[in-house]
Amino acid sequence: MAGKEAKVDNLVDWLRDAHAMEQQAESMLKAQSSRLEHYPELKARIDQHIEETLGQQKLLDECLARLNTSPSTIKDIGGKLMAFSQGASGMFVSDEVVKGAMAGYVFEHMEIASYTVLIAAAKAVGDLETQRACEQILPQEEAMADWLKAHLPELTQAYLTRDANPDMAAKR
Ligand code: MG
Ligand code: FE
């Protein structure tokens, strides 16, 4: 009995971590989207992922509510501040669009790892609804990571072309 309780505690902790991560994702993606001017394809894909991210937050909220807990406010606020400082630091680099896409690719992989862990943890305690929620979220993170990977070369090329033209803004 004690063993099973311990497992549920871990699941709850990781769900709260994931919730904070999605708050951070929302702040980061919104900051990136609002600043992008010359890369409409990237902006559109980020906007799509903002919608997905809001849906993910809702699914995680429902999982936490079923387990009689709420998101960890302190972690959520910490995540938002971190996302803000990341967004703000991007403003000072001349290759903001490239750095932002690279950071996004890394972030998506952190999310992929998190949901892979959550699926295993939900399975371990037999929480089928949490398992299904995370199995619904995971492919969205994989698709975003795949899209960024596939588009990094042409994004880099577009940046370099704009950067080489003195009449064009390349940064974002
Ligand atoms: Mg996400
Ligand atoms: Fe994501």
* In a domain? residue 172: no
Quote the pLDDT of residue 162: 95
Report angle CA 136, 133, 28 to the nearest 5 degrees.
Answer: 75
Residue 89 in any domain: the answer is yes
Query: Which structural domain, as residue segments, surrounds residue 145?
Result: 2-164
Q: Is residue 116 part of a domain?
A: yes
Helix (H) or strand (E) holding 137: helix 128-164
Does the residue 10 lie in any domain? Answer: yes
For residue 22, the CA-to-ligand 1 centroid distance in Å is: 5
For ligand 2, the distance from its centroid to the CA atom of residue 170, given in whole angstroms, is: 25
- 70 C-alpha to ligand 2 centroid (Å): 21
Q: How far is the CA of 96 from the centre of ligand 1 (A)?
A: 22
Q: Give the pLDDT of residue 87.
A: 67
Tens digit of each residue's pLDDT, the chain (172 residues):
555 666 899 999 999 999 999 999 999 999 999 999 999 999 999 999 999 999 999 999 999 999 988 877 777 777 777 776 666 667 678 899 999 999 999 999 999 999 999 999 999 999 999 999 999 999 999 999 999 999 999 999 999 999 999 999 999 9
Q: Residue 113 to residues 64, 138, 139, 142, 151: CA-CA distances in angstroms?
A: 19, 9, 12, 10, 22
Let me know if residue 100 belongs to a domain.
yes
Residue 123 near residue 117, CB atoms below 8 Å:
no
What is the rounded CA–CA span in Å between residue 59 and residue 87? 26
pLDDT recorded at residue 93:
84
User: What separation in Å is there between the alpha carbon of 164 and the centre of ligand 1?
Assistant: 35
First to last CA, the chain: 55
Taking each helix axis from N to C terminus, what angle separates 2-35 and 96-125, rounded to the nearest 10 degrees?
160
Ligand closest in space to the Cα of 142? 2
Q: How many domains does the structure of the chain reveal?
A: 1
> CB within 5 A of ion ligand 1: which residues?
25, 53, 56, 111
16 alpha carbon – ligand 1 mean position (Å): 13
Considering the entire predicted model, what is its pTM?
0.91
DSSP-derived secondary structure for 15-43: HHHHHHHHHHHHHHHHHHHHH--S-HHHH
- pLDDT at residue 15, as a whole number: 96
Ligand 1 centre distance from Cα of residue 98 (Å): 20
Q: Which residues surround ligand 2, an ion (CB under 5 A)?
A: 111, 141, 144
CATH code of 154's domain? 1.20.1260.10
Assess if residue 169 is contained within a domain. no
